[in-house]
Amino acid sequence: MKIVEEFWTMGAYDVVVLFDAPDDETVSAFILKIGSLGNVKGQTMRAFHRQEMEGILAKIK
What string of H, E and C letters represents the secondary structure of the chain? CEEEEEEECCCCCCEEEEEECCCHHHHHHHHHHHHHCCCCCCCCCCCCCHHHHHHHHHCCC
Confidence band for 10, pLDDT divided at 50, 70 and 90: very high
Residues with Cβ within 8 Å of 17's Cβ and at least 6 positions away in sequence, in order, are 3, 5, 6, 7
Q: Is the pLDDT of residue 21 over 90?
A: yes
Average pLDDT over residues 6-19: 91
Provide the greatest CA pair distance for the chain: 45
Are the C-beta atoms of residues 17 and 1 closer than 8 Å to each other?
Answer: no
